[in-house]
Amino acid sequence: MAVLLPLSAPKRYLGVVLVAVIILHYFLTIVNDDYSRISSFSNIGEQLRTGEQYDELISLDNNLRSFPNVTKANATFVLLARNSDLPGVVNSIQSVEDRFNRIHNYSWVLLNEEPFTDDFKERVTVLTRASISFGLIPREHWFQPDWIDEERARQGRQKMMAQRIIYGGSVSYRNMCRFNSGFFFQHELLQQYRYYWRIEPDVKFFCDLDYDPFLYMQEHEKVYSFTISLFEWEPTIPTLWQTTKGGFLSWVTPTQLSPAVSFIDFIAEYPQYVENHNAMDFLSNDGGKSYNLCHFWSNFEIADMDFWRTEAYTAYFNYLEQKGGFYYERWGDAPVHSIAAALFARRDQIHFFRDIGYRHDPFQHCPSGEQWTKGRCSCDPTDTFDYTANSCLKKFEKLFA
């Protein structure tokens, strides 16, 4: 009472009203279930969380608004994986979603020659708001064809194992390289799409991207892109260049990069497929006589599937396929894609994404300067493959010098 006594009349009334409200609240909590649920502390907490989500949506929306062009490209992510690749797949998808796709919501297509397990699908689906499809690869697109001479293939594998070539003894690795070279873009789940971004398990994207690289490809008529380029292991492709070139051909054109006479074989049969403004000088230091082993590292690719679906690439892949080199040797999809892009596309249709920070063990590309700051990149800008001894980036840049 000693405390209440000094209070003025209005304050006393306020106190009385407060006490009345508290009593009414407890009364309603007891007699009315709905009131009890709505006014509970947990529900109020939930309302606050919804408020946070709303703030996040507003900020996403503002981000989208700041893009010069909010149209989406006809594009998807493509990820080939085994069920056992799950942890690495989760890492990669999380990285892509965090740095780019949580805003753009491009769909995902995951492919496997075996059905994905329910556990795999559940763990992956939870990572994105975009649509995800899980596809089964047709047998004939994956396994070693019957017409391959298995004895010759076995000898090839043994020779490579003796040379300690990575995956030298693996048939499944060869299936994968052949599939990525000539079949993935034929999968029914990819028919509706034009552009794709290839993702592998356990890759990392270091930087935010404040624009849409698919739209960049489309608006600049690019057909193929890369972040890392390097030299191939020669023993995996001893006859690939010979198969591509081989015969004696004269392919003189006014704008040609290479000498007037070249020793190009597939091309001897199909000279019409070679683009005049090609990137032969990225592949060869002697105008096409020999392959310098430079290729784009295909575990990262943003590219135009309509390019792989052209008559030129179809003819090239079929030509390679009937030579059996995917199994007698260990032709990789990286040199196959690179040779095709360099010869059948204009050199300015190949793009180096300097601003995409990317790692696939053991190499990484890290942007620098303003691109590094703007992208809030988490990589060390001095740790980048770009101009190291095994990189072919300098050769690529020389095409445009």
> Who contacts 153 (Cβ-Cβ below 8 Å, separation ≥6)?
144, 171, 324, 327, 328
Residue with nearest beta carbon to Mg ion: 200
> What's the min distance (Å) between Cβ of 360 and Mg ion?
6
> What's the min distance (Å) between Cβ of 202 and Mg ion?
7
Binding of ligand GTP by 113 (CB under 6 A): yes
> For Mg ion, which residue of 200, 208, 210, 269 counts as binding (CB under 5 A)?
200
Binding of ligand GTP by 85 (CB under 6 A): yes
Identify the DSSP state of 101: I
In this complex, which beta carbon is closest to ligand GTP, that of residue 82 or of residue 346?
82
> Who contacts 4 (Cβ-Cβ below 8 Å, separation ≥6)?
12, 15
> For ligand GTP, which residue of 75, 176, 283, 392 counts as binding (CB under 6 A)?
176
In this complex, which beta carbon is closest to ligand GTP, that of residue 180 or of residue 278?
180
> What's the min distance (Å) between Cβ of 392 and ligand GTP?
17
301 catalytic? Reply is: yes
C-alpha pair distances (Å), 364 with each of 116, 229, 306: 29, 11, 28
Identify the DSSP state of 387: T
Task: Return the number of other C-beta atoms located less than 10 Å from residue 306's C-beta.
Answer: 14
Catalytic pick among 232, 275, 301, 329: 301
Residues 365 and 396: beta-carbon distance below 8 Å = no
Tell me which stretch binds Mg ion (CB under 5 A): 5-13, 171-179, 193-201, 371-379. Answer: 193-201
Helix (H) or strand (E) holding 304: strand 301-304
Binding of ligand GTP by 201 (CB under 6 A): yes
> For ligand GTP, which residue of 75, 81, 320, 366 counts as binding (CB under 6 A)?
81
> What's the min distance (Å) between Cβ of 89 and Mg ion?
11
* Entry field: residues in the chain: 401
Binding of ligand GTP by 121 (CB under 6 A): no
> What's the min distance (Å) between Cβ of 76 and ligand GTP?
15
Question: Residue 345: which region, alpha, beta or left (left: phi > 0; alpha: psi -120 to 50)?
Answer: beta
Q: What sign results for the dihedral spanned by CA atoms 237, 238, 239, 241?
A: positive
In this complex, which beta carbon is closest to ligand GTP, that of residue 81 or of residue 190?
81
Binding of ligand GTP by 82 (CB under 6 A): yes
Residues 299 and 198: beta-carbon distance below 8 Å = yes
- Using CB under 5 A as the binding rule, the residues of this chain from 277 to 306 that contact Mg ion are 299
Name the pairing type of β-strands 224-226 and 301-304: antiparallel
Binding of Mg ion by 265 (CB under 5 A): no
Q: What sign results for the dihedral spanned by CA atoms 305, 309, 315, 319?
A: positive
In this complex, which beta carbon is closest to Mg ion, that of residue 183 or of residue 363?
363
What is the set of active-site residues?
301
- Which chain residues interact with Mg ion by CB under 5 A? 200, 299
